[in-house]
Amino acid sequence: MAIKNELIKIKAPQFWEEFARGYGISEVILIKGDGSYKSMIIGDIVVINLHYREVGGYRKILDVECYEEVITAKFLHELAHYIKKHYVQKMKQGKIITLEDVCERTLEEILADPCEREAWDFVLEFKHEKPELFQALVESLKACLH
Helices (H) and strands (E) counted in the chain, each on its own, are: 8, 4
Binding site for Zn ion (CB under 5 A): 99, 116, 119
Shortest distance (Å) from residue 116 CB to Zn ion: 5
Looking at the Cβ atoms of 27 and 121, the one nearer to Zn ion is 121
Q: Are 144 and 15 in contact, with CB atoms under 8 Å apart? A: no
Distance CA 13, CA 11 (A): 7
Shortest distance (Å) from residue 144 CB to Zn ion: 23
Shortest distance (Å) from residue 2 CB to Zn ion: 29
Looking at the Cβ atoms of 76 and 141, the one nearer to Zn ion is 76
Looking at the Cβ atoms of 47 and 119, the one nearer to Zn ion is 119
Q: Are 50 and 110 in contact, with CB atoms under 8 Å apart? A: no
For strand 27-32 and strand 8-11, is the pairing parallel, antiparallel, or unpaired?
antiparallel
